[in-house]
Each structure stands twice: as structure tokens, then as C-alpha cells.
């Protein structure tokens, strides 16, 4: 039986896991956090095994492991589990992780698939920037409250904004790591919103009204990442949407990735 390793960090990763779990393959899914692992387990109807090995949880032919891996740890895991094919379904903006996965596959000689998120069509009336840093430069020239939805890892960039402690409101995941980073940077109390998505259009509208946001900055994450709901909420509330464009990269569509895995399972 072939062994498939999925580095999951997106909705597409969950969907791929569900799509192939009944293929004649052993599926190993790597996620960054314990919270992510629990979210994946909720997605599967398979009964989880009453034990874990090497930090993994088993459910049917799924083996889910939590914890961020460095490149050397990826290589060791690929070799230890005798992986036949790796699928990179991490977030479009997780460039360093993708780089490490590619290098680990290159050094172990295991085929690599980059699962791409469906592209977003540019819309009129939105502000597009190439990076969070460029977005900060733009926002420095503006006035009004800012709702930040680009994640906790890049929050430090916003500290360069004049009066950022008063202007900025950060919405981050409800994990200890995210909350601690936000508080460390001075975004706490009413200026910190910790919750788990996906966020509906109505929830986005309520949040915008709550913080009295004039600006909402987000990553170009596509429909699966909640981009459409944010865009509609911004339009309905008169909030200007600042969009950090996703990096350009090559890879496979969801359907192509499924077919590659199917072909691998038949070899």
C-alpha cells in the first residue's frame, strides 16, 4: 500500500484528506498545531484509534500528526514512514514552509505536488498591495480604525503605524500562541479579537461595526479562506478592503492532485 503525506493548513487540505481517505493508500497528515489536529478529526467520521504513536492520532487509514516541522524533521519523517508522494496543501502565504517541503522532497527523492487554491479575480474599488509591508505603508497615509485579519505571525509589521495601539484591531486565531503574540505587541483588550473561523459575512459585518473600522486588511485567500465574505462585508459597510496579493506559484488543481494520488495508489 502506498503512503501519501499531506502537509495541511488550508480548507483544500481537509477536502483532499476526505476525498482520498477511502483510496487504497495510507494517508499521513501533518498540521502545525494540536488545534488543527482536532479540527481535522472533526472532519472525519472514522473512529480514532485508542492510542497514539509518535504523537500521531489514527482514524481509519488516516494518521494525523501535530507540530511544526523543520526541513530536517520533514526529511526524517518522510524516510521513517516510507512516503511515496507528498502533497503541499499549506496556506498560499506559508512560503518558508513550502520551501522546506520542496527541499525535503528533493533530498529524499519523493515526488512533490503543490496544491493550488483557486485564483481570485481582481475587483474594482479594492486596494491591492504586494506585501503586508506595502499595506502598512499605504495605511500610514490614512486615517481611521483598521481591522487586521492577516494573522498573528505578521502582526509586528503594523507596529510601524503611527498610533497603532489605538488604530489597529487584530482578529487572530484563539490559540495561546496567537493571543500571546498579540498582547506582546500591545494589541489587547478591545483591540484583540480571538476566535476561530470561518467567519460569515454577517460575522464580518458585526466585527467591522464593533471596532468602527474604516479599513480592513486581508490576504488574498480565495473563497475557501473567507475572502468573499470579507469583501461583501466591506462593501456593505463602506469599509475599504486592502488586499495582500498571494505569491505567484505553479502547482496542481484539486482535481489534478486527486488524480495523481489515484495513479500513485494503483502503481
Q: Measure Cα distances from 255 to 116, 192, 258, 259, 265 in Å.
A: 10, 38, 5, 6, 15
Instruction: Report CA-CA distances (Å) from 158 to 73, 126, 133, 189, 221.
Output: 32, 20, 8, 17, 20
pLDDT of residue 33: 78
The model's pTM: 0.70
Domains and CATH numbers, the chain: 2-117+248-265 (3.40.50.720), 127-244 (3.40.50.620)
Residues of the chain with pLDDT under 70: 10, 41-60, 224
Alpha carbon distance 14, 2 (integer Å): 20
Helix 11-20, helix 254-265: angle, nearest 10? 30
Interval 167-224: pLDDT, tens: 999 999 888 999 999 999 999 999 999 998 778 999 999 999 999 999 999 998 777 6
pLDDT at 147: 98
pLDDT number for residue 131 = 93
What is the maximum span of the chain, computed from C-alpha positions, in angstroms? 60
Write down the pLDDT at residue 182: 96
Amino acid at each position: 500500500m502506498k503512503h501519501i503525506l499531506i502537509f495541511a493548513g488550508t480548507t483544500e487540505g481537509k477536502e483532499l484528506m476526505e476525498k482520498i481517505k477511502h483510496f487504497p493508500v495510507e494517508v499521513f497528515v501533518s498540521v502545525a498545531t494540536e488545534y488543527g489536529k482536532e479540527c481535522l478529526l472533526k472532519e472525519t467520521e472514522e473512529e480514532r484509534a485508542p492510542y497514539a504513536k509518535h504523537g500521531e492520532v489514527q482514524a481509519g487509514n488516516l494518521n494525523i500528526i501535530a507540530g511544526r516541522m523543520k526541513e530536517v524533521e520533514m526529511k526524517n519523517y518522510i524516510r521513517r514512514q516510507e512516503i511515496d508522494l507528498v502533497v503541499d496543501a499549506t496556506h498560499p502565504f506559508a512560503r518558508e514552509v513550502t520551501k522546506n517541503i520542496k527541499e525535503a522532497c528533493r533530498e529524499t527523492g519523493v515526488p512533490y505536488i503543490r496544491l493550488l487554491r483557486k485564483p481570485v479575480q481582481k475587483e474594482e474599488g479594492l486596494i491591492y498591495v504586494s506585501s503586508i509591508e506595502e499595506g502598512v505603508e499605504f495605511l500610514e497615509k490614512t486615517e481611521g480604525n483598521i481591522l487586521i485579519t492577516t494573522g498573528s505571525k505578521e502582526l509586528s509589521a503594523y507596529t510601524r503605524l503611527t498610533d497603532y495601539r489605538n488604530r489597529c484591531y487584530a482578529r487572530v486565531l484563539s490559540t495561546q500562541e496567537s493571543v500571546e503574540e498579540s498582547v506582546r505587541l500591545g494589541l489587547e483588550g478591545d483591540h484583540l479579537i480571538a476566535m476561530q473561523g470561518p467567519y460569515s459575512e454577517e460575522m464580518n459585518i458585526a466585527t467591522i461595526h464593533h471596532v468602527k473600522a474604516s479599513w480592513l486588511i486581508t490576504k488574498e485567500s480565495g473563497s475557501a479562506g473567507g475572502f468573499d465574505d470579507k469583501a461583501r462585508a466591506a462593501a456593505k459597510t463602506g469599509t475599504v478592503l486592502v488586499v495582500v496579493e498571494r505569491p505567484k506559484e505553479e502547482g496542481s488543481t484539486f482535481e489534478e492532485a486527486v488524480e495523481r494520488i489515484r495513479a500513485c495508489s494503483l502503481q
